[in-house]
Amino acid sequence: MSNSALHDTAVAKSPARDYDASLLQSYLTTRDTSLHLCAPLEIEDHSLQAMPDASPAKWHLAHTTWFFETFLLSQYGDQFQPFHPAFRNLFNSYYNAVGDRPLRAMRHILSRPSLDEVHAYRIYVDEAMVHLLTSDLPGEARQLIVLGINHEQQHQELIVTDVKNGLWANPMRQAYQFRAEPRKTPSAVSSLTWQNFPQDVYDVGFEGDGFAFDNEGPRHKVYANAFRLASRLITNGEYLEFMRDGGYGNPLLWLSDGWDCVRNNQWTAPLYWEQRDGEWWNYTMEGMQPLRLNEPLCHVSYYEADAFAHWAGGRLPTEFEWEIAARSCPVEGNLLESGALHPQPASGAEPLAQMFGDVWEWTASAYTPYPGFKPAAGAVGEYNGKFMCNQMVLRGGSCATPLSHIRATYRNFFPPHARWQFMGVRLANGD
């Protein structure tokens, strides 16, 4: 049964007349989107895990389902029976309070359950969830469903980036999707200008109605010196200048850990760049493409972002500078819904372009708790707080982030060596 048919049948039989129709719709749309993202994949592609940080698409499809089964249905479902008793551990990611789990780096060995069984698991849980969503729900269950929807949206971005990494690792460099018409790339990117922000005490962090992750609050005050933020993202062409100036070979530009990382991994270019007969090419979701100089730089680590900023005479913004600037920008841009799955050149004349979408922007801020931060009670308290060590904050979402998932206070985080997400650079300036 399709999710739309499931919706109609469940609503017709609904025992609760005042169920939250928009929450039900949001749940079903989110579940459909995950399947839609996997539609171009062959069965074999669903098991790809080309590096330990990535996970197979089949695992993402099962784990997002596990979240609803474990945190909602097992606690609030009426006489709910788990789909399979082994799945509680099999598809646990990192929740120690829930139990054991297979090694993350070994998720590719899970040839069983089959993809068909994982699809059946999704249908089983969706049917039970629709029944739950059309029942009288306690407020705490409603909040957990919203968390589960946002959790699945995070995994949708990971499906895109993990599939990209897996297809790229194969020497065939197969495309994930093809575009019917060639992409129109502006011949000239807008020139980089600077937006000024005065010194002040600013309120930052989430407050108000609507969903936010626990790590976005509490709202609190920060002092910022006067600063300037670049009007757009750094482009491939600008990064190529850094490379041609010997950027990867100049230790004076690099953090100590960054220099070690460059040498140990023999990095000479961003991830997915490849030189063929003297020309640079770039692996995209549409396969290998000649490097487009006007497109935003993507797939660089924090170390590379920092070294480039140093070379360019600027620095990376703090996460608070970014948020202070972003609060005046509409939440729109090249996000998952555009279907491009690739960052696009800045073309408009906005004072601050590309703040949302295209690439996550590395900030100079370590991922630490805000003053007064308290993780949620219970197992879901392991969601964010326990990762607040050895990671840097990224802001703004990417071309793989759903529109309804991103906001100015959103804090993404990755270790400084990570490159496989859609990660790029916006410069700041000022003391």
CB of 22 to Fe ion, least distance (A): 24
Binding segment for Fe ion (CB under 5 A), chosen from 1-9, 92-100, 313-321, 324-332, is: 92-100
Q: Are 188 and 313 in contact (CB under 8 A)?
A: no
For CA atoms 198, 199, 205, 209, the dihedral sign is negative
CB of 130 to Fe ion, least distance (A): 22
Pairing of strands 200-204, 220-224: antiparallel
CB of 158 to Fe ion, least distance (A): 8
* Nearby residues of 313 by Cβ (< 8 Å), 6 or more positions away: none
Hey, what long-range contacts does 260-266 have (CB within 8 A, 24 or more apart)? 261/301, 261/303, 261/416, 261/417, 262/303
CB of 200 to Fe ion, least distance (A): 37
Tokens of 256: 């100590």
Query: Which amino acid does the sequence have at 111?
Result: S
| Number of residues binding to Fe ion, judged by CB under 5 A | 1
Q: Nearest CA to 355 among 407, 301, 285?
A: 407
Q: Nearest CA to 45 among 65, 29, 59, 31?
A: 59
Count of helix runs (H) and strand runs (E) in the chain: 11, 12
Binding segment for Fe ion (CB under 5 A), chosen from 89-97, 182-190, 258-266, 273-281, is: 89-97
Q: By C-beta, is 59 or 273 nearer to Fe ion?
A: 59
CB of 358 to Fe ion, least distance (A): 24
State how far the Cα of 251 lies from the Cα of 257, in Å rounded to an integer: 11
Q: Nearest CA to 115 among 52, 177, 60?
A: 60
State how far the Cα of 272 lies from the Cα of 281, in Å rounded to an integer: 8
State how far the Cα of 244 lies from the Cα of 419, in Å rounded to an integer: 21
CB of 93 to Fe ion, least distance (A): 5
Q: By C-beta, is 64 or 409 nearer to Fe ion?
A: 64
Binding segment for Fe ion (CB under 5 A), chosen from 34-42, 46-54, 87-95, 299-307, is: 87-95
CB of 155 to Fe ion, least distance (A): 6
Q: By C-beta, is 64 or 165 nearer to Fe ion?
A: 64
Q: By C-beta, is 93 or 398 nearer to Fe ion?
A: 93
Q: 3-state secondary structure string, 196-244?
A: EECCEEEEECCCCCCCCCHHHCCCEEEEECCEEEECCCCEHHHHHHHHH
Binding segment for Fe ion (CB under 5 A), chosen from 88-96, 105-113, 168-176, 312-320, is: 88-96
Q: By C-beta, is 49 or 93 nearer to Fe ion?
A: 93
Site for Fe ion in 360-389 (CB under 5 A): none
Question: E strands within 253-402?
Answer: 273-276, 279-284, 287-290, 360-366, 392-395
Binding segment for Fe ion (CB under 5 A), chosen from 12-20, 27-35, 93-101, 140-148, is: 93-101
Q: By C-beta, is 14 or 404 nearer to Fe ion?
A: 404
CB of 154 to Fe ion, least distance (A): 7
Q: By C-beta, is 68 or 320 nearer to Fe ion?
A: 68
Q: By C-beta, is 69 or 323 nearer to Fe ion?
A: 69
CB of 129 to Fe ion, least distance (A): 17
Q: Can residue 93 be called a binding residue for Fe ion (CB under 5 A)?
A: yes
Q: Nearest CA to 345 among 191, 195, 242, 241?
A: 191
Q: By C-beta, is 66 or 273 nearer to Fe ion?
A: 66
CB of 55 to Fe ion, least distance (A): 9
Q: Can residue 47 be called a binding residue for Fe ion (CB under 5 A)?
A: no
Q: By C-beta, is 93 or 365 nearer to Fe ion?
A: 93
Binding segment for Fe ion (CB under 5 A), chosen from 21-29, 91-99, 127-135, 189-197, is: 91-99
Judged by the rule CB under 5 A, the positions of this chain that interact with Fe ion are: 93
